Amino acid sequence: MATRPDRPGATAWLPDPDHRDVAHLREAATACRGCELWEPATQVVFSAGVVTGRVALVGEQPGDVEDQRGIPFVGPAGRLLQEAVAEAGLAREDVYVTNAVKHFRFSQSAPGNRRIHATPDAGHVTACKPWLAAELVAVDPDVVVVLGATAAKALLGPSFRVTRERGVVLERETSRGTKRFVATIHPSAVLRTPAPEREQARAGLVADLRVAASALGDGAAET
């Protein structure tokens, strides 16, 4: 995807290669003007969780609540995700949480009106990718869980289809060697599923997270 001239991408804001630990990346990202999303957003929402975690969960972008609090996955989708992670047997101390895009994209009909989530486009994902790539190098997780289509596009390529390839361990070459990825649906998709089928959608998410837990190879999923 070509970078638009008004979207220079995050590269120019990355710290020098000797200072690309998560703390430095988080600080540097506050200055990022790699795309236009920084301006209407309240703040950059970088990541949360354990920077030595063996599992990285990668979502789409912060939502309204996350934009206000500056922490990913603290709204309704985040609560569902947290429960699903626990149910799948993943320990909190193993989990790092982040997003493909670090600012909230939304539409708003008038100031003060409700802010409506807008899916980031491929250019936003490309512009933000240097942050995601750098944090995954820094954290160096054993397994990356890709939550939904936007994260899948960022990490597994534009032709990847979550519905076709979810819940299996995929191996991909990265700058840190061969890494394992597991794709699954986004927790917001569970919340959007109408009541009779919602429980099944939730169970599917938990089952896919169990695959990620099993991929750690230490019986984490059996706990």
Rounded to the nearest whole angstrom, what is the least distance from the CB of residue 27 to ligand URA in the complex? Answer: 19
Q: Are 140 and 171 in contact (CB under 8 A)?
A: no
Q: Which lies closer to ligand URA via its Cβ, residue 49 or residue 62?
A: 62
CA distance 167 to 11: 32
Residue closest to ligand URA (Cβ): 59
Rounded to the nearest whole angstrom, what is the least distance from the CB of residue 5 to ligand URA in the complex? Answer: 28
Rounded to the nearest whole angstrom, what is the least distance from the CB of residue 74 to ligand URA in the complex? Answer: 7
Q: Which residues bind ligand URA (CB under 6 A)?
A: 59-63, 66, 72-73, 75, 77-78, 99, 188
CA 199 to chain centre: 23
Buried b (16+ CB within 10 A) or exposed e, 5-23: eebebbeebbeeeeebebe
Count of all residues that appear for the chain in the document:
223
Q: Which lies closer to ligand URA via its Cβ, residue 80 or residue 220?
A: 80
Please give the structure tokens belonging to residue 140: 């160096």
Rounded to the nearest whole angstrom, what is the least distance from the CB of residue 137 to ligand URA in the complex? Answer: 21
Token match 């009541």: residue? 195
Q: Which lies closer to ligand URA via its Cβ, residue 150 or residue 214?
A: 150
Q: Which lies closer to ligand URA via its Cβ, residue 118 or residue 221?
A: 118
